[in-house]
Amino acid sequence: MHAAPPARHLLLGLLVVAIWGSNFVVIKAALAHLPPLFMAFLRFALAFLPAALLVARPPVPWPQLAAYGVLIGAGQFGLLFLAMTAHISPGLASLVIQTQVFFTIALAALLAGERVHRLQLAGLACAAAGLVLIGARGDASATPLGLALVLLAAASWAAANLVGRRAGRVDMLGYMVWSSAFALPPLLALSLWFEGPAAIAAGVRAADAATWLAVVWQAAGNTLFGYAAWGWLLARHPAASIAPLALGVPVFGMAASAWWLHEPLPPWKLAAAALVLTGLALTLLWPRLAAALRAPASG
């Protein structure tokens, strides 16, 4: 059995989770003025420069960096920002995007032949029930289109996870910085095509100081600090000790949205969140549960 991470490392992980969760409110603030695809472009542009001048490129083939950048940039965040413009609330977006855990497991099973355990299938069924409850409501807090877009964003994130696994243990900060360069061309092209130069210019003119602070925070706080700190923790502790902390992301996300944006939390939404979080907990805690079940047998 591995020793538990020290308290200061757990507090660092909790800080990252709090940043990632509350960031959904920050995203909503920036989307009040900026078109979603162009905002995603700005996020990754600031994540790439000037950091690329200071952070070395990790020893990863260019095609892997390109695949990761496109999947995370145009896939995960492009679709997520589109959904959050008017189709899903920040709190529910922070919850639904965590289904990337299940997409990652499914893709690993299909493409790499990894075994799916029965407890993970139970977790998937539990989370799916929560998603059905969200979709059945069909109100402004989560339209069918918004739910579909966030699920596609989660699937793209899962595909990026599999690409990232192939890199092995590398400097995650450098990986994020240099892969961000490849998110820029598709995001800018899509923004110019679907949103248009006029909408981009209008958004830039309307943006205030709070908007630009939100964009900078996307790159500096959420991306560079968050991923660097998370990668630092995973390099020093087993994933089974760190990954369960991610269960706090939707908790912080829904709490921040309720506090700052007055997003209502009716019983159906709390029930859906409980189902999804229970499913995630069963899946993320499976390695620990399996180890605990094996311990008496080996002793």
Contact partners, residue 132, CB within 8 Å, separation at least 6: none
| Predicted local confidence at residue 233, as pLDDT | 81
For residues 147 and 151, give the distance between their C-alpha atoms in angstroms, rounded to a whole number: 6
Instruction: Give the Cα separation of 74 and 190 in Å (integer).
Output: 9
Of the candidates 159, 99, 101, which has an alpha carbon nearest to the alpha carbon of residue 130? 99
The conformation of residue 97, written as its DSSP 8-state character, comes to G
User: What is the overall mean pLDDT for the chain?
Assistant: 86
Closest CA to 191 of 65, 76, 74, 89: 74
What pLDDT score does 239 carry? 63
pTM above threshold 0.75? yes
- What is the predicted pLDDT for the residue at 7? 82
pLDDT band at 293 (very low <50, low <70, confident <90, very high): low
Indicate the residue type of 48: F
Look at residue 116 and tell me whether its pLDDT is greater than 70.
yes
Say yes or no to pLDDT of 2 above 60: no
High-pLDDT (> 90) share of the chain, %: 43
- The secondary structure of residue 88, as a DSSP letter, is B
Cα(133)–Cα(138) distance, rounded to whole angstroms? 9
Q: Which two tokens stand for residue 149?
A: 């877009």
| Domain spans in the chain, listed from the N-terminal domain onward | 13-293
Residue-wise pLDDT for 180-227, tens only, equals 999 999 999 999 999 999 999 999 999 999 999 999 998 888 888 887
CB 80, CB 153: distance < 8 Å:
yes
SS3 13: helix
